[in-house]
Structure 1
Amino acid sequence: MQFGFSSYSFYQHLRAGRMTLLDVIDWIAESDATHMEIATVSLSPEISNDTSTLDADPGFVQEIKKRAADRGVTLSNLVVPADLLGENAERDMARLKRHLDVAAELGITLFRHDVSKWAHRAKDVAEFEQLLPRMVEASKEVAQYGAQYGITTSVENHGLLMNGSERVRRLIHLVDEPNFKTTLDVGNFMSVDENPVVAVQQNAPYASIVHLKDFYVRSQLPGDGWHHTPGGSYLLGSIVGYGDLDMRGIVRGILDAGYDGFISIEFEGIEECLMGCTVGLANAKRLFDEAEAAR
């Protein structure tokens, strides 16, 4: 297992200008982690609007490549949002392909994309079924483009349309490309009120990379900043191991599936992010060690 971080975990400092992406690479190199995935949204001033120009800045791409190589940090995954169902689907598809070119230049072999906006919610299962063929066609096109570089593409359980574990598996089977899998986010299932332990058990066999995160979960609104799920729960990001998710059950599900790849900590809590990352990494490694010892 290789433990590392999503650049999204450092968004507090990246947005405020206290760190650059190159600083993040340096910080990871000096930690107990070995890899970093690049989330393009972490290079944007607004978390809900990805305005990263990584695909149009070859000089910066070369800086990232050199710094990671010099510091011994593996670049594991490139995470790019997209809406392949909206009016700008053609534009977003072209942008994804340009970022696949960037991933190849950086030596990254994993690539995660969305198929719709986060807030896109089908009114009912019939609407989802109507949209599914378009999602399959678009995901197949991305996977086939990535295949020329030996890149495995993936959809994450992310957003209200494609967050459910069964929907993700259906998409994978219908796309039917050997290099198309899922970025398995262990916490995001909660956004559609799905039991994350069960969902991880079901989807871990299809994972290309795992996002490890934790949430505080409440049944009543504690205050501003909490995410309200369709089923009435309230979520707030926490340090891995400090929240209310059954992390031990989640870790067992990952190991039972035989997964032995990148574990990417995605911290999105309100605590100071460097502290959150440091403690979260230590907790994650301890949880996996304990689970391995108990097998």
Structure 2
Amino acid sequence: MAELETIEMRAAYCNALLEIAEKDKRLVVLDADLMKASGVMPFKKAHPDRGIDVGVAEANLVGVASGLSLKGFVPFASTFACFAARRAFDQFFISSNYAKLNVKLVGTDPGVSAEFNGGTHMPFEDLTMMKMIPGLTIVEPSDDISAGKFTHLLFEHDGCCYMRLHRKKLERVYKEDEKFELGKAKILAEGKDAVVFALGGVMVRESLKAYEMLKKEGINATVVDVLTLKPIDRQLIIDQISKKHVVVTCENGQVAGGLASEIAEIIAYEGLSCKFRMVGVFDQFGQVGKLDYLLGAYQLTAEVIAQKVRTALRTTVKVGFGGPGFGMKIGNK
């Protein structure tokens, strides 16, 4: 059967919601004056009694979602990731998670994908904030296929979740019959010299580009799509680092408290020895610009990833910190 045409990730998200709605009347979809931007307007038209726009009131969005969950519904509440994290954090922490409810919060336009929304609306910190919530499941799909299937998985999961969702179209990574699990990563390319852990559609693509660049130079790297930041695929990470010893993390957000921090904690706790490099945002605010410009401005490009691998393979770096993308050789083995 021929593969379907790639669609925007927000469309894949909405399509999955429509599929769920046909089978389960517990589903309710909410938004905060961004239904068109979030791609859920088709759901509102198909199910007007189950599509709720609360207006420009993100804290109320999560409060209403929590109330619906308390009554047995399964709410999916979407808004820009900057609002999901900064404006609604307390409500999501207390009303949803502390109360042990079943709210699915979706933050769109993560990191540099916010583009012309500008610095105030460019969330580099959302994953860092969300990762601090006990028991919260956090996912970031990398294409339309994974976006649709993770929407189904989150609906089936009993407990609060945060999905970081790129809204626009991205080149497809997975085939339509790909199977996914919460807490499980995917190996997209394999090599013996290094391992690159990438999170999110933007960084997965840059990592795959870096893989091709390095391959032409005789350097073979493994590329892992992390997919679930929490609970992270700990055993796969341990296995890969144990075999490769050169590790690069790639994320479209702050490295502090994000994927890099999570991998570093595993390395330290397990006593693994490796050369460790990070690609991500280092203590910076957002800005206005097109995606390609922003990738360059924050050093999130394939060339930067490839260079991290090259330098790690060539050098022995002492323990310590040396600014953005610092390297360190850590471990006791």
Q: TM-score range by the shorter chain?
A: 0.3 to 0.5
Which structure: greater helix fraction? Answer: 1
TM-score of the aligned structures, taking structure 1 as reference length: 0.35
TM-score of the aligned structures, taking structure 2 as reference length: 0.32
The structure with more radius of gyration: 2
